[in-house]
Structure 1
Amino acid sequence: MNYKFAAADMDGTLLNDENEITPYTVEIIQRAVSQGLIFSICTGRPIQGVERYQEQLGIQGPVITYNGAMILDSADGRVLYKQELEADDARLILEAGLSYDTTMCIWSDNKLYGNKLNDRIQEYSKATKITPLLLPSTGQLLAQGITKILWYDEISKIQQIEKELRETAHFHTVTFCTSKPFYLEFFSSKVSKATAIDRIGEIYGFTQVETIAIGDGFNDLSMIRHAALGAAMGNAPDRVKECADYITTRTNNQDGVAEVLEKFIL
């Protein structure tokens, strides 16, 4: 198969546990791109959390952020596509977060807002180097538009909240899932990492049968299932591995992304 596009998740996939891309993986990605591959970072992070890695890769092209809710061109920062949460849904998520007394990290207009400026949101903001702002009035934030909401709490509490929301939530067009055991993310169900790949294909001229997706988390399942070749990292949970066409023998600490590109591109 002649693959033209590959998307790789960041945390637990492209990045090792020190939040770095190894020089070896950078080299393999650059070699694959030099042979015509379009390579895209695909993450739940905002663009601010991607920029230094994109610079390290030294390549240009589409970048998938907010789990597919926003796609940007790394060459000039142009927004190629965006889809925010419906206002009614965003309001329900904010109200539920307050009732659960959880820490909410809210992305609006590429700015980070929080209902609490506590240690959790400060820790979360380190990856993006953005100073979080205290949540203004709900009406003001809804008027700006909300791209993504993330709840950050104890793992046991996040598990319980997710279970309860699966049974009782009355959202209209919302997808929610854990990206890390202590993160519960909410974004429009009109978007996903899989949908983002299709959007990029429309712009760059490739089809689903020419795509590779590499990930390790439950928020990567849509693209792993959708791509012609869905690859799960060796460190992925079993439920993610079960949905993959290929499982790397290496983990994110052992250049697992490079393994996929070496085997199927180079």
Structure 2
Amino acid sequence: MEQKLIAIDLDGTTLNENSQITPKTKEVLTKATAAGHIVSIVTGRPNRISENYYDFLGLKSPMINFNGAVGHIPHQTWDKEYALTFNRDIAFEILAAKEQLGIKVVAAEGKNMALADVPNTVIDDFFPVTLKANEVLNKINLQENPSAMTMLVDKLQLPKTVSALEENFGDKINVGVWGGPNPILELSPKGVNKAHGVKFLADTFKIDRKNILAFGDEHNDAEMIDYAGWGVVMQNGTDKLKVLANDITPLTNKEDGLAHYLEEYLKLA
């Protein structure tokens, strides 16, 4: 079998409902790597809350974070590493208009930066629960342009917030709405998405588009699923995403759906 680039989303795909990688999933992904395929994590998460999974899987491949805005090999310097950003002034403008926009928490991040304006306990790990003075999002601390911004928004104001952000900054950023129970918005550099990261990986490893196998479950996986030669959507994925799929896993992320599918597809059993 030709070498495949296997691009895996984390939440709702590789991770089960407890945000864990099961022994079965680890076993299959390890087998896939041993068979000569390249397994790469392609996630919306920052590297600070995805490197633990990378290490647990024992990967040596590049990882794509912030929905395609950052590509790097964890724990080492790599001459092909990249980070796409947008102007930090956008963060300051949003902070200033926070109240009228119905925003409760604003975070700005980059590969080596995580700042938030207020601590928050709504989502474990995602927003800082406590903030040191140098972790507060303000003009003193935000010295570089961010690769992503994440915001917790008032649920009732969500549509209004989205349209206001798109109206004011739509030529410079993408505004993404998270699936799931929490009203969270994600800003990324204009035109950047997971397909950008996957194309970068394929070009780097000289892998033909037809040999890209991608797994996802949510709206932020759409471009990647569409771009891949074989885009696989999880059984628990959104209906919108399933329309773009070449195939759908018979099992959900709670049932090792990715592992079982990959084992069969790559004939690893």
Normalising by structure 2, report the TM-score: 0.86
C-alpha distance in 1, partners of 2:130/2:86? 22
C-alpha distance in 2, partners of 1:145/1:47? 17
CA change 1:165–1:231 in 2 (3 A) is same
CA change 1:123–1:63 in 2 (3 A) is closer
Instruction: State the match for 1:110 in structure 2.
Output: 112
Deviation at 1:42, TM superposition (A): 0.9
C-alpha distance in 2, partners of 1:122/1:12? 16
Q: Report SS of the residue matched to 1:243.
A: coil
Instruction: Tell me if the contact between 2:3 and 2:38 (Cα under 8 Å) persists in the aligned partners.
Output: no
User: Which sections of structure 2, spanning at least 5 residues, go unmatched?
Assistant: none
Instruction: State the match for 1:199 in structure 2.
Output: 200
Instruction: State the match for 1:63 in structure 2.
Output: 63
Normalising by structure 1, report the TM-score: 0.87
Instruction: State the match for 2:247 in structure 1.
Output: 246
- Greater alpha carbon shift after TM alignment, 72-81 vs 19-28: 72-81
Instruction: Tell me if the contact between 2:236 and 2:252 (Cα under 8 Å) persists in the aligned partners.
Output: yes
Instruction: State the match for 2:229 in structure 1.
Output: 228
C-alpha distance in 2, partners of 1:93/1:208? 38
Q: How many pairs were matched up?
A: 261
- Greater alpha carbon shift after TM alignment, 28-37 vs 66-75: 66-75
- Greater alpha carbon shift after TM alignment, 256-265 vs 12-21: 256-265
Deviation at 1:74, TM superposition (A): 3.3
Instruction: State the match for 1:151 in structure 2.
Output: 151
CA change 1:173–1:163 in 2 (3 A) is closer
Deviation at 1:131, TM superposition (A): 5.4
Deviation at 1:257, TM superposition (A): 1.4
Q: Report SS of the residue matched to 1:180.
A: coil
Instruction: Tell me if the contact between 1:104 and 1:150 (Cα under 8 Å) persists in the aligned partners.
Output: yes
**CA RMSD in angstroms, aligned pairs only:** 2.5
Q: Which has the higher helix share?
A: 1
Q: Report SS of the residue matched to 1:240.
A: helix
C-alpha distance in 1, partners of 2:255/2:74? 27
Amino acid at match of 1:221: A
- Greater alpha carbon shift after TM alignment, 89-98 vs 201-210: 89-98
Instruction: State the match for 2:172 in structure 1.
Output: 173
Deviation at 1:136, TM superposition (A): 1.8
Deviation at 1:13, TM superposition (A): 0.8
Instruction: Tell me if the contact between 1:97 and 1:151 (Cα under 8 Å) persists in the aligned partners.
Output: no
Identity %: 28
Instruction: Tell me if the contact between 2:116 and 2:127 (Cα under 8 Å) persists in the aligned partners.
Output: no
Instruction: Tell me if the contact between 1:60 and 1:75 (Cα under 8 Å) persists in the aligned partners.
Output: no
Amino acid at match of 1:260: Y
Report matched runs for 1:203-222 at 5 Å. 203-222=204-223
